Structure 1
């Protein structure tokens, strides 16, 4: 399980000077986090809430409690206005918002068992199966959403924005996270 954590930590990255690449890299980290969650789900069936399971649960929680909300906020602030401004893509904007709301609700349902596991608590068989089913349902929805954005939304947005727009988006993304963004236009 520790090798899984190492793989997650060495996930691809992009900087604020390339905000669309950064959003795409976030999707790759999301996939890695969900793959870790899938391995964790299998692990607890045989090993229970041991130390590696607790560590993996904390890692998944950290990603989806901290990075994922920033990612959705970035999309909503910077991509949605572009989508909403074009009548041909307004339905996409609504789909993004709807997906984000549904994913947030699914995370709220899936999170408690993961939080308990991070503290060494794992429910008996029926409760464990329910938690794992919630994780699987949420994971599938999240993977489908990210794949759609990668295939449809991000390529369209790349055609709409220029270097100055990207610089502004990157600056604003960095400011929301309290970090400096020093790349030139």
Structure 2
């Protein structure tokens, strides 16, 4: 399995670079989710499977919602202010769909933590995981290539500093 929690290459003083680094982490975690399905099909719910399930659960339950909140507060609003409301609306709809799909995946991963998953349930779970990963990857691509460049260009450096401070504050609680 892979290391999921490497330190991002950027900090809150560079909020767009930090969000891009989060996307790299999300992509690695999506890859881990899909590899988990193959691993469980071959090796069952062994210790590696449980560790991977735990890592995926932690990431998409804790870090991803904070990241989405950052985007909804700082990126999507900036897109709307500068004539890209349709893109912001589509990305927000993706967030809602990803949240709903994630809710259906949580019991799958919890089942792996609890013991072996029957083959018939694993096949259905893996299809859910693939659909989730496909949606997420498409979403990340749209943010990386369309949303972030547009929002960054529309956000002066002093506002980016405030944005980073607000993002850090939400994580401190």
- Report the TM-score range of the alignment, normalised by the length of the smaller protein: over 0.9
Q: Is 1:83–2:75 an aligned residue pair? A: no
In 2, distance between residues paired with 1:11 and 1:41?
A: 26
Per the normalisation by structure 2, the TM-score is: 0.95
In 2, distance between residues paired with 1:136 and 1:26?
A: 20
In 1, distance between residues paired with 2:91 and 2:44?
A: 36
Q: Which secondary structure state, in structure 1, belongs to the residue aligned with residue 172 of structure 2?
A: coil
What residue in structure 1 maps to residue 133 of structure 2?
139
What residue in structure 1 maps to residue 150 of structure 2?
156
Q: Which secondary structure state, in structure 2, belongs to the residue aligned with residue 102 of structure 1?
A: helix
What residue in structure 2 maps to residue 107 of structure 1?
102
Conservation of the 8 A alpha-carbon contact between 2:45 and 2:117: no
Counting matched residue pairs gives 173
Q: Which secondary structure state, in structure 1, belongs to the residue aligned with residue 114 of structure 2?
A: coil
In 1, distance between residues paired with 2:95 and 2:75?
A: 13
Q: Which secondary structure state, in structure 2, belongs to the residue aligned with residue 38 of structure 1?
A: helix
Conservation of the 8 A alpha-carbon contact between 1:50 and 1:120: no
Can you give the 5+ residue segments of structure 1 that lack an aligned partner in the other structure? Answer: 180-185
What residue in structure 1 maps to residue 62 of structure 2?
66
In 2, distance between residues paired with 1:136 and 1:122?
A: 20
- What is the aligned-residue RMSD (CA, Å)? 1.3
Per the normalisation by structure 1, the TM-score is: 0.89
Conservation of the 8 A alpha-carbon contact between 1:113 and 1:122: no
In 2, distance between residues paired with 1:109 and 1:51?
A: 23
Can you give the 5+ residue segments of structure 2 that lack an aligned partner in the other structure? Answer: none
In 2, distance between residues paired with 1:74 and 1:155?
A: 15
